[in-house]
Structure 1
Amino acid sequence: MEKLLFVCSRNKRRSLTAETIYRDNTVYDVKSCGTNTGARVKITAGLIGWADKIIFMEKRHKELASKSFGDSLAKKQIYVLNIKDVYEYLDSKLVDKLKLKMADLNLII
């Protein structure tokens, strides 16, 4: 089973929503985290090592992670969804956008 790691800023809305909606998926094992110091679950080398594919909500999340974990990230398949932080947790528009962008990347069937 492939492992997906979703990353946003605080791991309270976007990445947590992605983890929630895909947690029962039979193709992928999913986790989520955030780049900010006060994130619910903070990104770590261990989480990066665990993941096969890392999906960042914005380019700046990838850039922040690259500063601390550049070598580890270089060995991973990286995706950026370009989903801004304008949604609440499990917002139906966020769910729809996540599903559409994941389908566009052929990540979720």
Structure 2
Amino acid sequence: MTRHVLFLCSQNRLRSPTAEQVFADWPGVETASAGVLADADVPVSPELLQWADVIFVMERAHRTRLASRHRQWLNGKRVICLDIPDDYDFMQSELVELLKKKVVPHL
């Protein structure tokens, strides 16, 4: 069975697209990413939230914003906060290692 994994950050430019790419080839996992802000490259949508089996957010603020704006789509979904600050570039090796360390135990 394939698990649908959604990664969220603020603007969907650095952290969540990196996570999406890192885990894209993971066995039994399908990935997507989006941002919780209105000006995100790919803003989070009800369709993405319904598709997701598990949702990873980079910061507590993302979980709060997600819950306040999209509560009706989160029914029974696991939302896991990775506590990864916006200090990294896209595909930066330190970010990739941090993502692997924090995400893998939940897959």
TM-score of the superposition, structure 2-length normalised?
0.94
The match for 2:23 is: 22
| Code of the aligned partner of 1:98 | L
The match for 2:72 is: 71
Following the alignment from structure 2 to structure 1, what is the Cα–Cα distance between the partners of residues 69 and 19? 23
The match for 1:101 is: 102
Instruction: Name stretches of at least 5 consecutive residues in structure 2 with no aligned partner.
Output: none
The match for 1:36 is: 37
TM-score of the superposition, structure 1-length normalised?
0.93
Following the alignment from structure 1 to structure 2, what is the Cα–Cα distance between the partners of residues 70 and 77? 12
Following the alignment from structure 1 to structure 2, what is the Cα–Cα distance between the partners of residues 73 and 60? 16
| Code of the aligned partner of 2:9 | C
Following the alignment from structure 1 to structure 2, what is the Cα–Cα distance between the partners of residues 16 and 2? 18
Alpha-carbon RMSD across the aligned residues, in angstroms, is: 0.9
SS in 2 for 1:4: strand
Could you give the per-residue CA deviations for residues 25-70 of structure 1, whole angstroms, max 9, x where no partner exists?
A: 2211000000111111100111100000000011100111111111
1:73, CA displacement in angstroms?
1.2
Instruction: Name stretches of at least 5 consecutive residues in structure 1 with no aligned partner.
Output: none
Following the alignment from structure 1 to structure 2, what is the Cα–Cα distance between the partners of residues 20 and 106? 17
1:102, CA displacement in angstroms?
1.1
The match for 2:60 is: 59
Deviates more, 1:23-32 or 1:8-17: 23-32
1:89 equivalent to 2:73? Answer no
Following the alignment from structure 1 to structure 2, what is the Cα–Cα distance between the partners of residues 2 and 64? 24
Following the alignment from structure 2 to structure 1, what is the Cα–Cα distance between the partners of residues 17 and 100? 14
The match for 1:46 is: 47
Aligned length: 106
